[in-house]
A and B are shown apart, each in its own frame.
Chain A
Amino acid sequence: MAALPRRIIKETQRLMQEPVPGISAVPSESNARYFHVIVTGPEDSPFEGGLFKLELFLPEDYPMSAPKVRFITKIYHPNIDRLGRICLDILKDKWSPALQIRTVLLSIQALLSAPNPDDPLANDVAELWKVNESEAIRNAKDWTRRYAMDN
């Protein structure tokens, strides 16, 4: 492991050569374990049309432990809190070392299509999502326009 485990090098190369549609992940020049990520809001979701910035960091014992991922762009979502932290099982207890950066980002994109207010991280958002879904979706669209479109 001169500097970087071969798996990380391989994953990075594959992300560049065969990028996932709607997702871009580029390693930082100063730290190959830190990725600048952009996820496009999925079609037919309140996040459609938005470009969401995330940061992804591969801890030292990756892939034995999960990547750390956080939204940088503000997003109105019941499973993402105001600090951008994501409530997603595969990033926590359901992590498996056979998962990869690309599968993690695909799962996050899927989470945007399927918010889960029953397993909330942002309680106020989840509450509104449950009692008044149309208003919650309006808020989500509004936040997408305000924070995820003008850059």
Chain B
Amino acid sequence: MDIIQEGDCAVCMLKYNHPAKLPCDHIFCFLCIKGVFLRSHTCPMCRTPIPEDYLDNPQLLKEILDEKTEIDECDKFWWYYEGQDGWWSYDERSNEDIESDFNDGKSECKLLVAGAVYCVDFTQMIQYRQSDPRRKRKVKRDTHTHPSKGIAGILKVCPKQDDLSAENINATILDDDIDTIQNIHENEDDIDNMSQILRSMSIQEPELSSGSSNTEDT
């Protein structure tokens, strides 16, 4: 099979966004793997079966954040969608698309997330699934420091201070569908910005052979 480019996710062909590693060692964005999993349960690269419980217990890799992005682009607003008792932050990429369409005065923004097309309707401030418009959620635009449950279904984890160095912190993953949300233990401690959320989820260095490809502009 054709390997697209080192350092890029083979599904979205962009630099990894919340990279997650499968047991076969192939790495993809978490949301890309989620989209794949909901359809085929096999690794897109080698077709090794993905464990049934993988989404509940993914192996998330440390994200390499572009400091500039944090300062320049995350300074004002972030988009959130409603979850059970709380708001989820959209992932960075979706947020950028929504914000851009919003600022362009469009009435809606379409997103391809985890293999499904979602529509964010700015007039009603709701998000719905294009294939099933009954599945709606409220959305809102707020400061990026607004408290949230996590990013796009990846629940933020706030380890205790002395656990911060622990090698294996598992982020808890929630199903994106509001109707199937189960009870989860959620730490309500405030994390005041996205980068802290990301750092708190970090588990280990990604096994990327070339660091430079990660700085490629999307």
Residue of A nearest to B94 (CB): A1
B125 CB within 8 Å of chain A? no
Complex CA–CA separation, A61 to B111 (angstroms): 10
B24 CB within 8 Å of chain A? no
A98 & B4 in contact (Cβ 8 Å cutoff): yes
Complex CA–CA separation, A1 to B109 (angstroms): 7
Within the complex, what minimum Cβ distance (angstroms) separates A13 from chain B?
Answer: 11
Complex CA–CA separation, A128 to B115 (angstroms): 42
Residues of A within 8 A of B40 (CB): 96
Question: Which of B31-39, B78-86, B136-144, B194-202 forms part of the interface with chain A?
Answer: B31-39
Residues of B within 8 A of A102 (CB): 2
Within the complex, what minimum Cβ distance (angstroms) separates B139 from chain A?
Answer: 16
B71 CB within 8 Å of chain A? no
A11 CB within 8 Å of chain B? yes
Complex CA–CA separation, A99 to B44 (angstroms): 8
Residues of A within 8 A of B130 (CB): 60
Question: Which of A2-10, A23-31, A41-49, A79-87 forms part of the interface with chain B?
Answer: A2-10
- The A-B contact count (CB < 8 A) is 61
Within the complex, what minimum Cβ distance (angstroms) separates B77 from chain A?
Answer: 18
Residues of B within 8 A of A5 (CB): 12, 112
A98 & B45 in contact (Cβ 8 Å cutoff): yes
If the complex has contacts A2-B100, A60-B117, A60-B130, are A97 and B10 also in contact, measured as CB distance less than 8 A? yes
Residue of B nearest to A106 (CB): B2
Complex CA–CA separation, A29 to B45 (angstroms): 32
Complex CA–CA separation, A59 to B43 (angstroms): 21
Complex CA–CA separation, A113 to B75 (angstroms): 56
B115 & A98 in contact (Cβ 8 Å cutoff): no
Name the interface residues of B132-172: CB closer than 8 Å to any CB of A.
none
Residues of A within 8 A of B13 (CB): 6-7, 10-11
A103 CB within 8 Å of chain B? yes
Interchain CB contact (< 8 A) of B1 among A2, A61, A98: A98
Complex CA–CA separation, A117 to B12 (angstroms): 35
Complex CA–CA separation, A10 to B14 (angstroms): 9
B101 & A97 in contact (Cβ 8 Å cutoff): no
Listed in ascending order, the chain A residues whose CB lies under 8 Å from chain B are: 1-2, 5-7, 10-11, 60-61, 63-65, 96-100, 102-103
- Extra contacts, 8 of them, besides A64-B39, A96-B47, A97-B44 (Cβ < 8 A), are A1-B111, A1-B112, A7-B11, A7-B14, A60-B112, A61-B115, A96-B45, A98-B44
